Amino acid sequence: MKQLTGKVALVTGGSRGIGAAIARRLAHDGATVAFTYVNATENARTVAKEIEAAGSQVLAIQADSADPPAVIAAVEDTVAKFGRIDILVNNAGIMIAAPLEELTAKQTDHMWAVNVRAVFVASQAVARHMSAGGRIITIGSTMPGRVFGPGFTLYAMCKAALTGLTNGLARDLGPRGINVVMVTAGLIDTDMNPADGPGADSLTSLTALGRYGTPGDVAQAVSFLAGDGGSYVTGTAFTVDGGLTS
């Protein structure tokens, strides 16, 4: 039996990149998977078909993480469809990189809404349904500990907030047997930060392994933490960065 057989997972931002890799991996390891997407309808259909073809049940939900009612509805739809929810992966995120003087209040509010508020809203909604043994896993970043250059202040601020949120949730939900952990990702080859993009060579040289990671690297860590391997891991960060912060 696969380690996540009988579990139901919800992955936010699961139509591409790290989120899609996580959705596929959790399904591969036996979970029934729901995932959200905003506009990438064709990508979402492709991921759903791949999961179905592999023999798992799947639900693709169009939901904007910037909209709290939509985030809550995605949780409720997952429970209504599958009867329970055991794993929440807060993956959806955006990056706005710009000189400090050019950032607007609207940009600040939008990034905070997607990268921080949505994580709180989804976790709060899931907590109403989650039983002992549940997992809340949030995808973080090494950026707060090592900002590589100008223009990333807002992104680093939002990702830093997830540390406090993870620690607080762990204390709130620990007595109920629910584990809360953050997966801190380093240089991962995605559309947001491609391994062949501008400046990638210099960034790669900062890692101990001398290369970018893949979405699959993050997905394997998430699946490990969602299963028995994560049973005594909570209120902390699990780093997947190829030695970037070593």
Q: Please check the confidence at residue 191 and state whether its pLDDT lies above 90.
A: no
**Mean pLDDT of the region 171-185:** 98
Radius of gyration of the chain (CA): 17
Among 37, 155, 212, 232, which one carries the catalytic annotation? 155
Q: What is the pLDDT of residues 51-74, one digit of tens each?
A: 999 899 999 999 999 999 999 999
**Mean pLDDT of the region 17-31:** 97
Q: What is the pLDDT of residues 103-129, one digit of tens each?
A: 999 999 999 999 999 999 999 999 999
Q: What is the pLDDT of residue 146?
A: 85
- Cα separation, 33 vs 55, in Å, equals 11
- Given a contact cutoff of 8 angstroms between Cβ atoms, the answer to whether 93 and 114 are in contact is yes
Q: Please check the confidence at residue 138 and state whether its pLDDT lies above 90.
A: yes
**Mean pLDDT of the region 215-233:** 98
Q: Which domains does the chain have, with CATH numbers?
A: 8-240 (3.40.50.720)
- Given a contact cutoff of 8 angstroms between Cβ atoms, the answer to whether 148 and 100 are in contact is no
Q: What is the pLDDT of residue 123?
A: 98
* Residue 212 is a catalytic residue: no
Q: What is the pLDDT of residue 134?
A: 98
Q: What is the pLDDT of residues 71-84, one digit of tens each?
A: 999 999 999 999 99
Q: What is the pLDDT of residue 13?
A: 97
Q: Please check the confidence at residue 198 and state whether its pLDDT lies above 90.
A: no
- Cα separation, 99 vs 78, in Å, equals 39
